[in-house]
């Protein structure tokens, strides 16, 4: 891609800023931050969590400026705010834009706090790519997912990701924009599977953080990760995804990274809950969205609606939202019967 061409990033949180810095190694970047005070701080200080923004990153004045100057767009906005962002953005978007989102969450057309699992419709639960197609005239849509801890990317450590899309052009443009000597970019046509891989691993990371917070070791964590991946595959299959996505870098790769690193917000939530802290206090202290908490709420609605068995998800949801003691939850999960190893390969 031309050094003179700009790429747009929407969302200047930790991950959005990390993606902006990566992109800036190959071309100029317009980075948009919705909060005016935060945007002013970025223009003046040019730092995010003590990391400097690349010199090729310019803080945009508006979504209109981003849309008019960039044809390749990377929204990196928490799922709870994604629809409002895309609606605000849509008047400026054109059919020739390419949009690759990096949001690891789901959107619900209903209030997840008041919803009844028996009466919800799964059609009202959407991935971010589905929201983009629904709310804009953009056709060429993709997603980005993988073991991409923002802090390590900002530290310029080696990493990789997957860009998924039905369109070869989306994958090739995304690869050209993002790939560097230390950042590898793979491609996939299974956009639903890749999106759900990035979403579902979040609650497994919360469980792994809790496990370590209680002092359990690597044997127990390996068991939890393996059975967590099996559960992700079952839920993904029920929603129409191919199991292969969960076995690649956006699935097991991302799962390992977020389930083993204290740098993961979801891991940190579980760890601190196991240490006796309250969920509201933890989320307020983190200051950024831990998508796993929202994933747990939506995931429980899905599995309860389907009448499916997802013991890890359902049990961790009880810990976070129904005050089930973590020690009791782990004892239940250890006793839960499993008929065979890697049985999900046969589905």
Active site residues: 201
Within 10 Å of residue 292's Cβ, how many Cβ atoms? 30
Task: Return contacts of 60-65, CB within 8 angstroms, 24+ apart.
Answer: 60/8, 60/30, 60/31, 60/32, 62/32, 63/10, 63/32, 63/88, 63/89, 63/92, 64/92, 65/30, 65/32
Distance CA 313, CA 297 (A): 9
Residue closest to 163 by CA, chosen among 152, 175, 153: 175
Polymer length of the chain? 347
Residue closest to 196 by CA, chosen among 256, 106, 321: 106
Q: Work out whether strand 51-52 and strand 70-75 pair parallel, antiparallel, or are unpaired.
A: unpaired
Supply 79's token pair: 């799922």
Tell me the C-alpha to C-alpha distance, in Å, between residue 29 and each of 7, 253, 297. 5, 28, 35
Distance CA 21, CA 53 (A): 6
Secondary structure (3-state) at 133:
helix
Within 10 Å of residue 59's Cβ, how many Cβ atoms? 20
The 183-188 sheet, strands edge to edge? 57-59, 28-32, 6-10, 70-75, 98-101, 140-145, 159-165, 183-188
């Amino acid at each position: 891609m031309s050094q003179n061409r700009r790429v747009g990033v929407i969302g200047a949180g930790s991950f959005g800023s990390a993606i902006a810095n990566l992109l800036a190694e190959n071309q100029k970047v317009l980075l948009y931050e919705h909060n005016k005070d935060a945007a002013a701080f970025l223009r003046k200080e040019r730092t995010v969590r003590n990391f400097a923004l690349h010199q090729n990153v310019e803080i945009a004045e508006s979504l209109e400026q981003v849309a008019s100057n960039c044809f390749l767009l990377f929204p990196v906005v928490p799922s709870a705010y994604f629809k409002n962002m895309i609606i605000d953005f849509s008047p400026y978007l054109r059919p020739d834009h390419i949009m690759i989102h990096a949001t690891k969450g789901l959107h619900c057309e209903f209030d997840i706090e008041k919803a009844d699992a028996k009466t919800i419709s799964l059609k009202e639960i959407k991935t971010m790519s589905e929201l983009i197609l629904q709310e804009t005239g953009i056709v060429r849509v993709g997603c980005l997912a993988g073991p991409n801890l923002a802090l390590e990317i900002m530290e310029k450590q080696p990493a990789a990701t997957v860009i998924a899309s039905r369109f070869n052009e989306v994958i090739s443009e995304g690869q050209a924009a993002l790939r560097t000597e230390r950042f590898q970019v793979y491609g996939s046509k299974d956009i639903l599977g890749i999106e759900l891989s990035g979403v579902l691993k979040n609650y497994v990371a919360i469980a792994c953080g809790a496990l370590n917070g209680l002092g359990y070791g690597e044997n127990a964590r390996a068991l939890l990760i393996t059975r967590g991946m099996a559960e992700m595959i079952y839920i993904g299959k029920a929603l129409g995804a191919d199991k292969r996505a969960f076995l690649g870098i956006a699935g097991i790769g991302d799962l390992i990274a977020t389930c083993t690193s204290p740098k993961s917000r979801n891991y940190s939530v579980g760890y601190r809950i196991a240490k006796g802290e309250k969920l509201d206090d933890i989320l307020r202290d983190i200051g950024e969205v831990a998508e796993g908490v929202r994933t747990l709420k939506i995931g429980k609605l899905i599995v309860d609606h389907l009448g499916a068995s997802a013991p890890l998800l359902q049990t961790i949801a009880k810990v976070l939202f129904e005050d089930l003691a973590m020690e009791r939850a782990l004892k239940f999960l250890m006793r839960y019967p499993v008929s065979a190893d890697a049985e999900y390969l046969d589905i």
